[in-house]
Amino acid sequence: MTAGVYTTGNERVVSGVLALAMHLLFLALLIFGVAWQKREPQAVVVDLWSDLPPMPAPKPPPVPEVKPAPAPPPPAPKVEVKPAPKVEPKVEPKPEPVPDPEIALKEKRERERKAREQALAEKKKREEEALAEKKRREQKALAEKKRREAQALAEKKRREEQARLAALKAQRAKEAEARRLAREQAEAQRKLAAAEAAAQAKLIDEYTRRIREKIKRFIVEPPNLPGNPEVIFAVTVLPGGEILDVKTRRPSAVAAWDSAVERAIRRAQPLPLPPDPALMSKFRELELVFRPKE
């Protein structure tokens, strides 16, 4: 601790009074010194001419030339009186106060206490800042984690949606292809069935024509037939072409013609049938129409 820094209360009062007195004395000297300097010094004139002895009467000279009078002597210089030098008051040095050990100790302890409090406050502030920084980093890390999780979830949903749409598209394409194939197969089957039906119909017509021609070869037409009578018979045929039954479905108006046709049907067996067993159902029950003029 530096000496002279701390003083007691009485010493401070005495020092203040002395300082005030010195200032008042200094002010008075300034005032009187200025007034003394303002007095005008009186000029001193010294006559340097003295009386000369009388001169003898000169001879009357010729009229001399008039010469100009000599210039008067210059005035004597004024003597300035310099003012007395200003006397600066001598300032006595203040006595250095003797520090009070008890006060110095208290102040030292107070400074140490404040230093400890400041250190603790700074430490607490650093800890709070560190904790706040830690929380901020944790929150930032948590936010980043949530962001990544949300991004991953969104990406997963996007991929799943893409997969679902791709599967749906593939399923629709598969179904469309299946429908196309089904249509093509159905069309092919229809065409095939139509072709088979046409072939069967043609074959049926062909063998029906053969059966009629064979039966007609056995018809003995009665004489004097009036007009062109038409008779329809229902004939039941066995797989070998044999006739199981013959029935008149719609007789004509001429009984002799009807009897002649029935006899010819029975005599024409076995009837010619197609070799395909699948067509036998078409020849199981035959409906045959006969007219004399065909």
Domain ranges of the chain: 1-38+79-99, 193-290
Dist. CA 287–CA 237, nearest whole Å = 11
Look at residue 4 in the predicted model and tell me its pLDDT.
44
CATH of domain 193-290: 3.30.1150.10
Classify burial at 265, counting beta carbons within 10 Å of its beta carbon; exposed 0-12, middle 13-18, buried 19 or more: buried
292 Cβ neighbours under 8 A, 6+ residues apart: 221, 225, 228, 229, 257
Instruction: Identify the pLDDT of residue 108.
Output: 92
Q: What Rg do the C-alpha atoms of the chain give, in angstroms? A: 82
Does this model's pTM top 0.85? no
CA dist 147 and 155 (Å) reads: 12
Residue 246, judged by CB atoms within 10 A of its CB (0-12, 13-18, 19+), counts as: middle
Q: List Cβ neighbours of 207 (8 Å cut-off, separation of 6 or more).
A: 272, 273, 274, 279, 283
CA distances from 193 to 178, 204, 278 (A): 21, 15, 14
pLDDT given at position 227: 82
The Cα–Cα gap between 258 and 290 comes to 9
- How many angstroms separate the CA atoms of 144 and 153, rounded? 14
Q: Encoding tokens for residue 214?
A: 């064979």
User: What's the confidence (pLDDT) of residue 44?
Assistant: 44
* Rounded Cα distance, 212 and 288, in Å: 7
Q: For position 119, what pLDDT does the model report?
A: 95
Angle between helices 255-267 and 101-217 (to 10 degrees): 110
Token readout for 209 is 């024509």
pLDDT in tens, the chain (294 residues): 444 444 455 666 667 778 788 888 878 777 766 554 545 545 544 444 344 445 555 565 555 555 556 666 666 655 555 666 666 666 666 767 677 888 999 999 999 999 999 999 999 999 999 999 999 999 999 999 999 999 999 999 999 999 999 999 999 999 999 999 999 999 999 998 888 888 888 888 998 999 999 998 998 888 888 888 899 999 998 988 898 999 998 998 889 999 999 999 999 889 898 888 888 888 888 898 998 887
Rounded distance, CA 257 to CA 223, Å?
Answer: 10
